[in-house]
Amino acid sequence: MTLGRLRRLEEAVAPTRLSTTLESLRPRTFLEFYGVAVIVVIVAAIAAAPLIAPDPLAQDLTSSLAGSSAEHWLGTDNLGRDLWARILYGGRVSVVIGVFVLLTAGAVGVLYGAVSGYAGGMVDAVMMRIVDIFLSFPSIMLALLISAALGPTIRNVIIAIAAAWWPVYARLIRGQVIVVKEREFVTASRALGAGPMRNLLLTVLPNSFGVMKTIFVLDIGYAILAGSTLGFLGLGVSAPTPEWGYMIREALQYPTHWWFILSPGLALMLFVSAINFAGGIVTRSVHEDPGR
């Protein structure tokens, strides 16, 4: 009633979209600033890794398990490799896993869920039962199984996690599509003669992403965590390639050398929590989006 109308009034006077979007994506709270800043610093550092760190694979057994020094800022691991370099290069693996898991699982899940929701009826029922089967396994178990079967490469880790995750997106987007497809502008588009493909891709889907945006951003963090979990369990990226999860696993054997375990752990925590804080911006912008 009234408040709805007041909201519309606010909308009526809002500026055009692009500037609105940029404006709403500006961090406002301290945590949001912090999150964005940390992400920017980390991404910049791992991008510039070859410039600011030595070779992460170069072994020097004479100085293994050394503490912090001018040569090795964070010290070295059990094989005398520079930890600073390994953290940075390991970050690259994490970012690749995070982004590609999201892209893969997102693309598959969104397409699957959208088709299921838009088609409705029997098609929807069958497609959703398949999703239910996937969801009935704990996702980390599923990822472990797939990863173990495929073998330890970055590509396989991405496939394994994505395979465990897409059903969640399929579910989510299906729910949105079912709501949106009944909205009047979709009927209007149908009355104009738009076919189902056009309707789904150009009219329904763009209006179904609201919630997904938030979840996508937060899930990048969780995908990184999942990748590290696989690494920690020895089913992630294979040995010489630096990877945070696997580094923690290695470090566990040397509990007295605290910096060894602390640096990958801290890196993981900093990065994932920063993504979480920054995710708040997206949540807010989705909330404030008048066209949502």
Partner 1 sequence: MSAGSHDAKALVEVEDLRVWFPTRRAPTAERRGYIKAVDGVAFTVRQGETLGLVGESGCGKTTTARAILKLLEPTEGRIMFDGVDLSTVSGRDLRLLRRRMQPVFQDPFASLNPKRTVARIVAEPLAIHRQGTRAQRRERVAELLDTVGLPPDAAGRFPHAFSGGQRQRIAIARAMALRPDLIVADEPVSSLDVSIRAQILNLMSDLQQEFRLTYVVIAHDLALVRQVTDRVAVMYLGNIVELRSTEDLYRRPLHPYTVALLSAVPIPDTEAEATRQRIVLEGDVPSPADPPSGCRFHTRCWLRRKLDNPDICSGETPPLTPIEDGGGAVACHFPDEVRTSSERRETLVTIGSR
Partner 2 sequence: MKTPVAESRSEAASPGPDRPVLSVRDLDVTFRARSPVLAVRGVSYDLAAGEHVGLVGESGSGKSAGALALVRLLPDYADVSGTVMLDGADLLRLNERELRAVRGDQVGIVYQDPFSSLNPVLTIGKQLTEVLSKHKGLRARAARREAARLLETVGVPNAEERISDHPHQFSGGMRQRAVIAMAVAPRPALLIADEPTTALDVTVQAQILELLQELTSEHGTTMLLITHDLGVVAGVTQRLMVMYGGRIVEASTTEDVFARPAHPYTVALHRSLPRIDARQERLVTIEGQPPDPTRPIEGCPFAPRCPSRIDRCTVENPPLMTLPTARRATTAGWELPTISERDGNPVPGPASPHLTACWNPPLPEARSAGAGGAG
Binding footprint of partner 2 on the chain (CB under 8 A)? 1-3, 5-6, 8-10, 12-14, 23
> For residue 122, what are its two tokens?
């029997």
DSSP secondary structure letter of residue 201:
I
| Distance (Å, whole) CA 157 – CA 145 | 11
Angle at 148 between CA 147 and CA 154, to 5 degrees: 40
Q: Residue 23 binds which entry of partner 1, partner 2, none, with Cβ cut-offs from 5 to 8 Å by kind?
A: partner 2
Instruction: Read off the amino acid at residue 171.
Output: R
User: In the stretch 16-35, what mask flags binding to partner 1 with x, by CB under 8 A?
Assistant: xx------------------
196 counts as binding partner 1 under rule CB under 8 A: no
Alpha-helix runs per DSSP H in 120-243: 121-135, 139-150, 154-180, 184-191, 196-198, 210-232
* Sole binder of partner 1 in the list 14, 37, 150, 233 (CB under 8 A): 14
Size of the site for partner 1 (CB under 8 A): 26
Report CA-CA distances (Å) from 251 to 31, 151, 221, 248: 31, 23, 22, 5
From partner 1, partner 2, none, interface partner of 2 (C-beta below 5 to 8 A by class)? partner 2
Distance CA 74, CA 94 (A): 19
Which of 9/40 has CB closer to partner 2? 9
122 sits near partner 1 (criterion: CB under 8 A): no
Q: Confirm or reject binding of residue 285 to partner 1 (CB under 8 A).
A: no
Contact positions vs partner 1 (CB under 8 A): 8, 11-17, 183-185, 187-194, 198, 203, 206-207, 290-292
